[in-house]
Amino acid sequence: MYSFKNDYSEGAHPNILRALAESNNVQQSGYGDDMFTTQATDLIRRKLKNQQAAVHLVSGGTQANLTVISSVLKPYESVVSAATGHINHHETGAIEATGVRIEAIATEDGKLSPELINAFLETVEQVHMRLPRMVYISQSTEVGTHYMKEELIALWNFCRRRDLYLFMDGARLASGLDASDMQFSDLGKYTDVFYIGGTKNGALLGEAIVINNPDLQKDFSYNLKMRGALLAKGRLLGIQFTELFKDNLYFAIGAHLNKTASRLAEAFHQNGYDFLTPSRTNQIFPILPYAVIEKLRENYDFYIWKKIDSQNAAIRLVTSWATQESVLLKFIQDLKACSAGSNRV
Amino acid sequence: MYSFKNDYSEGAHPNILRALAESNNVQQSGYGDDMFTTQATDLIRRKLKNQQAAVHLVSGGTQANLTVISSVLKPYESVVSAATGHINHHETGAIEATGVRIEAIATEDGKLSPELINAFLETVEQVHMRLPRMVYISQSTEVGTHYMKEELIALWNFCRRRDLYLFMDGARLASGLDASDMQFSDLGKYTDVFYIGGTKNGALLGEAIVINNPDLQKDFSYNLKMRGALLAKGRLLGIQFTELFKDNLYFAIGAHLNKTASRLAEAFHQNGYDFLTPSRTNQIFPILPYAVIEKLRENYDFYIWKKIDSQNAAIRLVTSWATQESVLLKFIQDLKACSAGSNRV
Amino acid sequence: MYSFKNDYSEGAHPNILRALAESNNVQQSGYGDDMFTTQATDLIRRKLKNQQAAVHLVSGGTQANLTVISSVLKPYESVVSAATGHINHHETGAIEATGVRIEAIATEDGKLSPELINAFLETVEQVHMRLPRMVYISQSTEVGTHYMKEELIALWNFCRRRDLYLFMDGARLASGLDASDMQFSDLGKYTDVFYIGGTKNGALLGEAIVINNPDLQKDFSYNLKMRGALLAKGRLLGIQFTELFKDNLYFAIGAHLNKTASRLAEAFHQNGYDFLTPSRTNQIFPILPYAVIEKLRENYDFYIWKKIDSQNAAIRLVTSWATQESVLLKFIQDLKACSAGSNRV
Amino acid sequence: MYSFKNDYSEGAHPNILRALAESNNVQQSGYGDDMFTTQATDLIRRKLKNQQAAVHLVSGGTQANLTVISSVLKPYESVVSAATGHINHHETGAIEATGVRIEAIATEDGKLSPELINAFLETVEQVHMRLPRMVYISQSTEVGTHYMKEELIALWNFCRRRDLYLFMDGARLASGLDASDMQFSDLGKYTDVFYIGGTKNGALLGEAIVINNPDLQKDFSYNLKMRGALLAKGRLLGIQFTELFKDNLYFAIGAHLNKTASRLAEAFHQNGYDFLTPSRTNQIFPILPYAVIEKLRENYDFYIWKKIDSQNAAIRLVTSWATQESVLLKFIQDLKACSAGSNRV
């Protein structure tokens, strides 16, 4: 049984394990005040071409989202998100638990646009509704799509005009950037805050929050400590992000994620299947007859994402830093065999 | 420069790194639904002699404290803690950030007793004050002291009678248990909830929350996810706690922590110094003339804990799983040399 | 200029002012421990035919909603509401400010049904989404519609089966009950909690929270005090609810509200206008050409509720306890005159 | 039985009831957008000699405290209060319920000073403790004492230097100002925010929050609505504060409160009793033998505040806007009679 359920089924990229072993006996200060965190911060700033960015390493994506959003917004302000956005759909109300309201916008493809946001803003009534103050987007999105550079710039300009902060969730940033024409350094220019996902991109755990907007940087560590997000052995995160960024390993992993996923997507396409969303990232959502799904499940583990009709459902396949060529070849062969015998609609 | 600042200056016990490397390519489900977490849970339950205990692995101590306390208490209830308790003194109001009030009790030695709690309860007025519903204690305490078994049982019985939950913070549990006549299995009998510290006892990170009281077990995972405390790669925590508990490594580390600290304490004693608290754990607080402190600081890093008078201050020295014999010998030698030349009071 | 903007434009029913004056010098205990609050509680319980109901008097509707919801739900649970529900649409995120997530359901007419709730429940994923635990409905709804008795019973039975609490917002309960075949005493049988609106039904201020479910009654006053909802001079609320319930004044006001609104509705109907919703309560939403709206605005104040197309919009007219016959006659005359000259579509 | 338990045992000053009756049928907009609230605001600003002050009327003191503090502080900041301060002692953790931590300082007389605050600030550690950002004081205090003008100025200057906001709780401001050499207009100069208590000074309910600091004024109404503190019939508050301030009724009530209390205090003094605190406000705390207390309780209701020893306790007597000369004379006579027969210590 091989799992395509997600991109966090395996451990860490070998470089990370090696670095952890090598540094194990070096004494360092705690709570992020260690030389590895400093190295990681320097590397990220350099690649971002923003020496003033504040970098904070935390354990996970929900933690990154909740610490950022709850520290940026005033109690009576709200954050605008696609209804499919991770904060709205899959974080057990972590944002609301900090007192913040999410304004959920229905979208076609998991992506927000100035038009969608503006249509919502026109319905907002003073005092009796929250004051929207932040826009939350994900790169790549929770449904496999991604933002192109001009889409990001359009959102950024809109947010500037309307006094909104722009926050990008980068839980799957390696894949998102690889799929897009956007450069990593664009994130330093066209967002107020974003985070660089580690957990889903080869780390044992960890996300790097990057605060570009100087107004939002002050005292941020207090928020981390207060939310239980400041690790005593911060070195564990510093070492990992140093490895991911020192030889562009992060971007290489992003390319691997998308290349392996596109190999799978191509196979579905060749067998005549359609997709729920036009994904070029490491999450693909082919639509298959239940009969094919059942056969595939004999050897592969994955989520059935959405029922389409009585005959078909969309499944989700996700590739990881560890997905190997041999697995792809075997899957493609199995898919062909399954599909041959099915009554495709 | 050698650091005695804390017990999280180094990486992880070698067994842990080895286990992480060996398991790295095994695919596992996320969010705690992996075989390593199951193994760790089984080991902990067995040693606890409580098969019904719920075990949840989280990243850090503040996270453990805030998820437990905020999920057990109703909004209008409060938790009673020593004023020196970690939740009251050193967690940036993490508990209050979840809406909970801490009732801080002044103590002599960082320890609560039925008498101290009762004296507070007698001042509580209905409706206009919170309803105290939980007692929080630390084993070992933040000032190096520890609870003996009969003290724990007395607290437990008092809490039962007064409808209070008893929660033990075990950030330094290995050291606390080693110093006490309390057995690990006593924690399964005489607390409602406690947690087993990993970070300060040889793990890279991680604390194991153990919920003995069945009433408090239901749906606890929702709280973890909601507070950003549920790691996608939960395996990272499962592997570590499996290592710590499979050959009693955890207890061996506890013994090492206290033995090394007592070697240091003995040296201070022999050189004629007194202590701020009567610690038998891995945190000791000798009182030294500033001149001696300054000389020691040339080669050692540690906190100056409390000014005693114009001539003397208490310092804090902490030993870790990695503290070596050679370092102890060197320190003892240096202390003797420093002390010889000082004007001891 | 006469205002039909809302049902809280005037002061209080004369009986209330008289009772306040008469009782002014009587000394009473504070914080709800006064004889007037006891009287009001007894009257409400008697009319409800539920002697075990807990009754708590608070200042306003948002306060009633937030104290009830935040005290009933555990942190990781959520409340299901129509998207148009007051808690979701018009309370500035008051519910989220207490950490609770609202699951907003799109509806045709502002009303929830077992089918709508069930469709949502089927999408809920364990641990990664909140656990829905309460259903919130309004009688009458925010768009002027109301629940019939069998609809309430269907919701009640559904909630019992699915382990959901049923909470009814009665900010406009007098009007809602008058429009429905539901009896006041049905609220004691088919809800876990509800509140009786005073502010919009002739009181200066005040809502009476009624907790039928004994499990939800314990320690509720603590929550009130903690949220700033416990008035020192609780007598002010007790006196008002005593007046409203002692001679069925509350129900008489409900009849007046609906009768006056239906007079207006009838006039719109006779002049050939349609309505946004089929309201029989004290809020009506006729659809008028902008030209007619403009003429009416010369003498009347009201909200333009929703743009229908380039020619027409729905307005909202609300009657109050103080709406007089002479005003109705004048408005009906004016409407006829306005309509005569307009290009009706 | 006559009650000296508190200053909210009766209804409202007759002027207020008269104004409510006279204005009852005037239609006004809701939520504070009415002409009475505008009048009250203008009167308060004028007497304060601060035309830029923002004035917001709310229902009660706990509500005033929690809306102010939670809207001014960032999540990781804290408020410094005397341990006896109302927010720390008697509000059921209302402040903590909004996520804010209170730093409670032990005092002799319920009053904070630059020295006491500074001693606390010196113990604050970065990141691991909250950042203190506001000082909360009460005028008069919860133990009957009051601040003189130079004490307020000293606190104000200290707060300016240390980047702290100064917030004054004026639940008993009428009495506090009358006892002090401080002018009402000083509050516009030497506080960032304060509130004018209505409930304990002759109103049915209501406190007027005054925000002097322009940085703290923006969007405050959103916070009120979000916390359930914005009354639909805001006119009820506007009318009352207009009455209280239009002919200096508020200050006349303050004088009455203190004069009646001092009459009582003088009687205790003449009968040879001592006091728990040196109060010149409308709360006095005489220390009496239990025998005398018991006799007084036959005809008077009051709190036994604090046990002094096996023979004596301090009681609390509070006068109100409604306390009459005849009652004072009767009490003084009764006290003399009781005392004559007691074994005074």
Q: Which two tokens stand for residue B82?
A: 């020593």
- Please report where in the chains the tokens 């509130």 appear, as a residue: D195
The dihedrals phi and psi of B27, each to the nearest 5 degrees, come to: -80, 140
Q: Does a structural domain hold residue D213? A: yes
Residues C215 and C228 in one domain: yes
Q: Does a structural domain hold residue B345? A: no
End-to-end CA distance of chain C: 28
Residues C240 and C257 in one domain: no
Q: Is B131 on the interface with C (CB under 8 A)?
A: yes
Quick one: closest CA in D to B132, which residue?
Answer: D92
Quick one: closest CA in B to C131, which residue?
Answer: B222
Q: Can you give the pLDDT at residue A58? A: 98
Yes or no: say if C59 and C206 are a contact pair by the CB < 8 Å rule: yes
Neighbouring chains of C at 3+ CB pairs within 8 Å? A, B, D
Task: Say how far apart CA A160 and CA D155 lie, in whole Å.
Answer: 40
Determine, for residues D75 and B97 on separate chains, whether the beta-carbon distance falls below 8 Å: yes
Q: Does a structural domain hold residue D197? A: yes
Quick one: closest CA in B to D127, which residue?
Answer: B92
Q: Does a structural domain hold residue A5? A: no
Residues D287 and D200 in one domain: no
Residues D318 and D239 in one domain: no
Res D345 pLDDT > 60: no
Determine, for residues D101 and B93 on separate chains, whether the beta-carbon distance falls below 8 Å: yes
Q: Is D127 on the interface with B (CB under 8 A)?
A: yes
Q: Does a structural domain hold residue B218? A: yes
Res C253 pLDDT > 60: yes
Residues D30 and D123 in one domain: yes
State which of B198, B220, B249 marks the end of a domain.
B249
Q: What are the distances in angstroms from CA D276 to CA D267, D309, D312, D313, D319?
A: 15, 13, 11, 9, 17
Strands (E), B30-100: 54-58, 77-82
Task: Say how far apart CA C275 and CA C179 lie, in whole Å.
Answer: 17
Yes or no: say if B105 and B82 are a contact pair by the CB < 8 Å rule: yes
- Please report where in the chains the tokens 């806007």 appear, as a residue: D321
Q: Does a structural domain hold residue B318? A: yes
Per-residue pLDDT of chain A (345 residues; tens, 9 = 90+): 999 999 999 999 999 999 999 999 999 999 999 999 999 999 999 999 999 999 999 999 999 999 999 999 999 999 999 999 999 999 999 999 999 999 999 999 999 999 999 999 999 999 999 999 999 999 999 999 999 999 999 999 999 999 999 999 999 999 999 999 999 999 999 999 999 999 999 999 999 999 999 999 999 999 999 999 999 999 999 999 999 999 999 999 999 999 999 999 999 999 999 999 999 999 999 999 999 999 999 999 999 999 999 999 999 999 999 999 999 999 999 999 999 866 554
- Beta-carbon pairs below 8 A across chains C and D: 159
DSSP string, A251-289: HHHHHHHHHHHHHHHHHHHHTT--BSS---SSEE-BEEE
Yes or no: say if B203 and A72 are a contact pair by the CB < 8 Å rule: no
Mean pLDDT of chain C: 97
Residues C298 and C233 in one domain: no
Mean pLDDT of chain B: 97
Please tell me what DSSP assigns to residue D216.
G
What proportion of chain C, given as a percentage, has pLDDT over 70? 99
Determine, for residues B127 and C70 on separate chains, whether the beta-carbon distance falls below 8 Å: no
Q: What are the distances in angstroms from CA A177 to CA A187, A248, B78, C51?
A: 10, 13, 47, 64
Determine, for residues D226 and A75 on separate chains, whether the beta-carbon distance falls below 8 Å: yes
Please tell me what DSSP assigns to residue A96.
G
Residues C50 and C117 in one domain: yes
Q: Say how many domains are in chain B.
A: 2
CB neighbour list of residue B172: distance below 8 Å, 6 or more residues apart: B7, B138, B139, B140, B197, B200, B201, B281, B282, B283
Query: One-letter amino acid identity for B235?
Result: R
Asked if the bond preceding B140 is cis, omega within 30° of 0, the reply is yes
Determine, for residues C205 and D231 on separate chains, whether the beta-carbon distance falls below 8 Å: yes
Residues C76 and C108 in one domain: yes
Q: Is D326 on the interface with C (CB under 8 A)?
A: no
Dihedral (C-alpha) D148, D152, D154, D157: value to the nearest 10 degrees?
A: -160
Res B345 pLDDT > 60: no
Quick one: closest CA in C to A89, which residue?
Answer: C129
Q: Which two tokens stand for residue D273?
A: 């009793």
Q: Does a structural domain hold residue C9? A: no
Q: Is C253 on the interface with D (CB under 8 A)?
A: no
Task: Say how far apart CA D102 and CA D88 lie, in whole Å.
Answer: 7
Residues D224 and D259 in one domain: no
Task: Say how far apart CA B276 and CA B281 lie, in whole Å.
Answer: 13
What sign has the CA pseudo-torsion D177, D178, D180, D184? Answer: positive
Residues D239 and D284 in one domain: no
Q: Which two tokens stand for residue D22?
A: 């006279």
pLDDT in tens, B69-99: 999 999 999 999 999 999 999 999 999 999 9
Q: Is A324 on the interface with B (CB under 8 A)?
A: no
Residues C163 and C267 in one domain: no
pLDDT category at B340 given cuts 50, 70, 90 is confident
Yes or no: say if B173 and B200 are a contact pair by the CB < 8 Å rule: no
Q: Is C119 on the interface with A (CB under 8 A)?
A: no
pLDDT in tens, A146-192: 999 999 999 999 999 999 999 999 999 999 999 999 999 999 999 99
Looking at residues B290-305, what average pLDDT do you find? 96
State which of D195, D217, D249 marks the end of a domain.
D249
From the CB of residue A14, how many other CB atoms can be counted at a distance below 10 Å?
A: 15
Q: Does a structural domain hold residue D345? A: no
Q: Can you give the pLDDT at residue C343? A: 52
Which among B92, B100, B125 has the least Cβ separation from residue D96? Answer: B100
pLDDT category at C340 given cuts 50, 70, 90 is confident
Task: Say how far apart CA D164 and CA D171 lie, in whole Å.
Answer: 22
pLDDT category at C342 given cuts 50, 70, 90 is low
Res D53 pLDDT > 90: yes
Mapped onto helix, strand or coil, the DSSP state of residue C173 is helix
**Closest alpha carbon to C18 in C182, C292, C274, C247:** C247
Which among B9, B25, B225 has the least Cβ separation from residue A322? Answer: B25
Domain that holds residue D144: 14-249
Burial-class residue D310 by CB neighbours within 10 Å (0-12, 13-18, 19+). Answer: exposed
State which of C216, C249, C282 marks the end of a domain.
C249
Residues B82 and B46 in one domain: yes
CATH number at residue B175: 3.40.640.10
CATH number at residue B260: 3.90.1150.10
pLDDT in tens, D125-146: 999 999 999 999 999 999 999 9
Q: Is C99 on the interface with B (CB under 8 A)?
A: yes
Preferred mutation among A96, A124, A227, A306 to probe C, highest tally of C CBs within 10 A:
A96
Yes or no: say if A194 and A167 are a contact pair by the CB < 8 Å rule: yes
Q: Cα–Cα–Cα angle for D195, D199, D205, nearest 5°? A: 100
Task: Say how far apart CA B342 and CA D264 lie, in whole Å.
Answer: 64
Q: What is the ipTM of this complex?
A: 0.96
